[in-house]
A and B are shown apart, each in its own frame.
Chain A
């Protein structure tokens, strides 16, 4: 697409070594040495056809090249031919990528697209409403979005509004940071029964994500919920179910959710893990919080807390595991042996793996419990133990199940994907063409960051380091000239994107539109003594975005 009108450019492109020193076009140095390019020629098939021409190049052509270069220089200013970067996804991985790119490449233009009208990804729809401090990072991300060389376009969906190949034509660099919007499945009988949800859906529901606005989990037909998993998402979900609603009322939790929680009959929550307290995947802050809920009876079997030598070995070099175990031990020792009447209950259930879901006799198609198998730990390597079934089973009766066993990424057309790991195969953020083939064969100009790159684990700050790595790879590729043949050609970037979206009747929403939504949500919130009242339907979001 780009440069197609100038048939000589690929030749000169090969001919004249162009070095980019981080700041891309401004510091571009032009060297006349052809030899340096030879090694790279082998790598780029599409340009191989031009190679044989090289001996034919004469002085006249060199002059032509110079003339092209002087033109290239003249439009190679910041405004005319910047490095154009598109980041897909506006969560922490996307925003940190944008921030690092803007910093590393003076003059680069970065566009962030998101399928939602609202930016910030899981900071908005993942972080629990009672964790407002964690959301403060939105300030930093907003400054990035308002950077003069950065634009945000919401309501643009990769795969339907625009394809990956469109983006790669429009931009020199495309960084996919759209996270994990699906769930791992257990693959056990009864998983489709009513009353079983993924924790992701439940979290999206209480955080007002428009896609789960109507999840409407039934909290009134049962007093018991089983949460499968013991990571931080599981603890968040348990806390939302058990925490006094008066304490949630002043958060940005969606009003319809607050009402549902106020009417909830759930009093007892089981947190079920396949392995023991040493292997629990939660962190200390979240554990401390859930253990500290007012008037909550916490049950942990003392016997489960006994550490084996293998446990000790595993904990030796893991501060979180040591401190989590310590917290659980303290809670087990200090709690009363019986719940008071009316007291809400949290039961930590270790060494149990779900085998199947039980269907209710009274309510057909509805879950009534989880059939679990007892497990023991088996060492499979230094510091690593897995759960193995003992053949002994028991039932946990419940009317609701939340599966918190991990998120999963979803591929788009044209994107190499490792279905086993649920991530895009990559080397330090560079997308590898074939996950089973040559690991050094990468997709030029295509990168990943965040959960799509490394799987659904880690905290917001993990994305900071993840983005640094990806942006370092981009810089390296520019400096090495891997991206050169494309980046020395102008690309349409933002203008082309907006044109294409316009042609397809897709209406992108800018950061300014988000600010209108933001301001509407805040003013609705102030009426209810909340920091914000989220707009939770597409209709309301689009209406607010269109306000004058």
Chain B
């Protein structure tokens, strides 16, 4: 059902929480950045699979993830399942969705800016901190319902949320030029 679930990494069964490896296992982190490695994941809440109740396996999987739709900069929908406790930045990267994350979730850039498309969902999020607002100041195409993807953490109330990746560059990529058909 889900490629990330098949890896079996996100279903925490202990009550002690967990710290995941970085979302790009290929890279070697320079040591100065290691201190920040965990920062993106500190918000993870740990959900015991027992919380999911005694339904069948599929059911418990469903309860441990929420549906999130990313609308990419070309307007295409991408529906993914995001484990509870995971940030949308990390979820996007796990699913090869093009969302930049220059500072890897350490609240030092604005590249994972997303727009929550429904105010009802936006209001279910905790208010952005000053630090997040400082970064949102610099985001391209800021809207009333803009957030940083690294600061939106999947929780059950957010099931069904739709977020758009701003199309800051959509216009000039086309620039009135239409390739001739073949």
Contacts and interface: CB of A to CB of B under 8 A. Distances in A.
Interface string B157-176: 00000000000110011010
Interface of A: 19, 21, 29, 131-140, 142-143, 252, 283-285, 288, 319-320, 323, 428, 459-461, 464-465, 468-469, 472, 476, 479-480, 518, 522, 525-526, 531-532
A532 B32 contact: yes
Given A461-B138, A464-B102, A472-B173, 16 more contacts: A132-B32, A133-B36, A133-B107, A134-B103, A136-B102, A136-B108, A139-B29, A320-B138, A459-B138, A460-B109, A461-B110, A465-B140, A472-B175, A479-B177, A480-B177, A525-B31
Contacts of A142: 27
Given A136-B104, A136-B106, A139-B33, A288 B179 contact: no
A480 B178 CA distance: 10
B134 interface: yes
A518 B138 contact: no
Given A283-B137, A461-B109, A465-B169, A133 B103 contact: yes
Given A143-B27, A288-B130, A461-B111, A136 B177 contact: no
A323 B110 contact: no
Contacts of B175: 428, 472, 476
Interface in B132-160: 133-135, 137-138, 140, 142
Contact of A29 (B106, B142, B169, B182): B182
Given A21-B179, A285-B135, A460-B109, A139 B104 contact: yes
A323 B177 CA distance: 40
A134 B108 CA distance: 5
Interface string B21-33: 0001011011111
Contacts of B109: 134, 137, 459-461
Nearest to B110: A461
Nearest to A139: B27
11 contacts: A19-B180, A136-B106, A139-B29, A252-B32, A323-B134, A428-B175, A459-B110, A464-B102, A472-B169, A518-B30, A532-B31
B35 interface: yes
B36 A468 contact: no
Nearest to B109: A461
B100 A464 contact: yes
Chain B interface: which size bin?
35 or more
B131 interface: yes
A133 B33 CA distance: 7
A479 B137 CA distance: 36
Contacts of A460: 102, 109
A285 B131 contact: yes
Interface of B: 24, 26-27, 29-33, 35-36, 100, 102-104, 106-111, 130-131, 133-135, 137-138, 140, 142, 168-169, 172-173, 175, 177, 179-180, 182
B159 to A, nearest CB: 30
A283 B131 CA distance: 12
A143 B168 CA distance: 24
A479 B134 contact: no
A131 B108 contact: yes
A288 to B, nearest CB: 7
A283 B102 CA distance: 18
Contact of A143 (B26, B36, B131, B177): B26
Contacts of B104: 136, 139
A112 B142 CA distance: 32
A102 to B, nearest CB: 14
Nearest to B180: A19
Contacts of A138: 30, 33
A480 B180 CA distance: 9
A6 B137 CA distance: 56
Contact of A319 (B108, B131, B137, B173): B137
A-B pairs with lowest CB-CB distance, top 6: A531-B32, A133-B108, A285-B134, A133-B106, A137-B102, A284-B134
Given A140-B102, A480-B177, A135 B137 contact: no
A145 to B, nearest CB: 12
Contacts of B30: 138-139, 518, 522, 531-532
Contacts of A469: 169, 172
Contacts of A428: 172, 175
A285 B175 CA distance: 35
Contact of B177 (A135, A137, A464, A476): A476
Nearest to A123: B102
A19 to B, nearest CB: 7
A312 to B, nearest CB: 19
Nearest to A428: B172
Contacts of B26: 143
A291 B154 CA distance: 34
A444 B70 CA distance: 38
B73 to A, nearest CB: 10
Given A29-B182, A460-B109, A461-B109, A139 B24 contact: yes
A469 B169 CA distance: 7
Nearest to B73: A468
Nearest to A22: B179
Q: Which of B24, B32, B103 has the largest count of A CB atoms less than 10 A from its CB? A: B32
Contacts of A319: 137, 142
Nearest to A92: B102
Contacts of A459: 109-110, 138
Contacts of A472: 169, 172-173, 175
A132 B109 CA distance: 12
B78 to A, nearest CB: 18
Contacts of A252: 32
Contacts of B32: 132, 135, 252, 531-532
B169 A136 contact: no
A283 B168 CA distance: 21
Contacts of A139: 24, 27, 29-30, 33, 104
Contact of A137 (B24, B103, B140, B142): B103
A479 B180 CA distance: 9
